[in-house]
Amino acid sequence: MTRQANRKRTLSGFALLCLLGVSFFCAPPQVLQADVLRLAYPVQPKSLDPHQYPPDPASWPIVMTCYRRLFDLKAGTSEIEAVDSAAATYRVSDDGLVYTIILQEGRTFTDGTPVDSQAVLFSFDRLMATQTGKQHFPYLKYMEIVGPYTFRFRLTRPWPPFLASLTLPMASLVSPGVTARGSGFLNRGTAGSGRFEVEEYKPNQINLRIRLDAPSAPKLDRAEFLYEPDPTARADLVASGRAHLAFDALAGNLSPSAPAPKPRRDEAAAALEALPPTYVQLMVPGFQTRFLAFNMTRPYLKMIGVREAIAGLARIALLSPYQEGRPGLVLPTGLAPTTGALEETPLDRAEETAGELLAQLGPSRIPLDLAYFSDDQNGRADAELLAQKLSAYGLSARLVPLTGAHGQGLLEKADWDLLLAFRQPDIPSPEMWLGRFLDSRASVASNPARFSSPQADGLIAELDAVDRRAREMSLRRLALLAMDQKPYVMLYQKMTPVLADVRLQGLRPHPMWPYVWPVDETNLDPFRGFSRPAPPPPPASEPLFKDFDDPVAEPYE
């Protein structure tokens, strides 16, 4: 298969996921059933309790399926919606301190207990008794039952991210009836109000079954979560027809956020070429973003021209090798308060602009300490690529791995010049994203650049504004300030490689965690013996997959 043909086999970006609705005449052995979804993951959860501390992200695909929360996120964004969630609507007081939630009536948990105000109080009392609750709901003062299906939260201060925090896995509603089932029941079972419940928990596999009393039942009867630590074996589960999806299959060697030595990338490409034509590797973006921080206390890096030059070289070094994947964004999709105003210099001009700036300012006379976290997947590979690009312009960079207590000490003392790291918001809100990066009062972990600006601090204070338009205006001004000052460079969103059967339909991964797959929405009709007529294959002269009108997706031709 040619390189050009292989590019058609690797898709990226949320807009391309709808391509999985295509059917094909060529199919693997009919091992997969039309009413059982099988998903392969690398790590089995230790507990399925949504309120556990510390949280176990491996449990979230099941928690998000078997439980409901008061609100959910719209696909691919950080916007709140109440479509299939427990809440019907809400009101916020004029001072932004009181949130009144109106629940949907008629919903029940798996044990028949109604999803009412008593259940919400039980769930949040249980959550707030843990460190998880205290971390994610820091300004929650108290809760009260107003009526059977009316509930009220009161905060100690206005905090607009509160609604977004109600969409998190740890905000899942748990049946009060679970208290009669033993203290360890939720480690292996579920007591939620979602459409599915745990049927069986066994080593390397967890089976879910549809609730017989579930309203608006999905098109699946069961879902099986298979756990296989070896990435090649996970890929084989899909290629052999024993699973529909495999996460991080083939070690993710084609992910733009996971640069690997060329031989490994070639091996991964060869493995993809060997797959039957009914499989494709998707690159699914989440909100986790690779960024470069400048130490704003260093004299050389205080010059905006230097930061602009290095920012351009960083984008060239870390984006150019992966043009087949989704390019980096200034802010993650769904978290950016504005898009058009945050465009960077085009890549084909960035290097020329950087060279001109450095020629005017002169290179640093000492090596720049380029720090990265030693436990960061591919952190050293990214650092090496950036160091090579800087060296071409006379900027010597010394790689500094941040390991253990010593590395934490270097970070806190700001004993580095450049820092490569990943960042994902704790709560899916632009207020949390921008505020954590730019607040001069924040810890070094939240604001590693040591960025300090009275204007930024003033705008961050305005992010608590109750008026939505005022808050959005402050967010926009804050984003433009960050773009102008460049204490950070947002390079690319981390991709989750997913090997998938192309006959799947209705796939919309969670915007925060791409490995949380929408079991409720998955349509397996194309697996029913191809009862639906398959469209004719495209002419040989046309690509198998066509690009959509996606402003952030690179063309494939």
CATH number for the domain spanning 314: value is 3.10.105.10
Q: Which amino acid is at 23?
A: S
Residue 50 lies in a domain: no
Mean pLDDT of 537-545: 35
pLDDT range class, residue 509, cuts 50, 70, 90: confident
Residue scoring higher pLDDT (471 or 544): 471
Domain match, 234 and 295 both:
no
| Alpha carbon distance 419, 312 (integer Å) | 15
| CA 408 – CA 191 distance, rounded (Å) | 40
Is the confidence at residue 534, as pLDDT, over 50?
Answer: no
pLDDT at 249: 74
Which of 139, 160, 181 is at the close of a domain? 181
338 and 427 share a domain? yes
- The answer to whether residue 94 sits within a structural domain is yes
Same-domain status, 281 and 364: no
| Location of structure tokens 């756990």 | 227
Domain count within the chain: 3
On average, the pLDDT of the chain sits at: 79
Would the pLDDT of 535 be above 70? no
- Please report the pLDDT score of residue 227 as a whole number: 97
The enclosing domain of 146 has a CATH number of 3.90.76.10
- Give domain status of residue 109, yes or no: yes
Residue 7 scores a pLDDT above 60 = no
CA angle 432, 438, 441 (to 5 degrees): 95
Q: How many CA atoms lie within 13 A of 338 on its CB side?
A: 17
Rounded to two decimals, the pTM is 0.80
Together in a domain, 264 and 296: no
Tell me, yes or no, whether 352 and 476 share the same domain. yes
Question: What span, in angstroms and rounded, lies between the C-alpha atoms of 532 and 527?
Answer: 9
Question: Domain of 237?
Answer: 3-42+190-285+494-524
Report the pLDDT value the prediction gives residue 51, as an integer from 0 to 100.
Answer: 96
| 335 and 216 co-located in one domain | no
Kindly state whether residues 400 and 474 are assigned to the same domain: yes
The tens digit of pLDDT for each residue in 178-195 reads 999 988 999 999 999 999
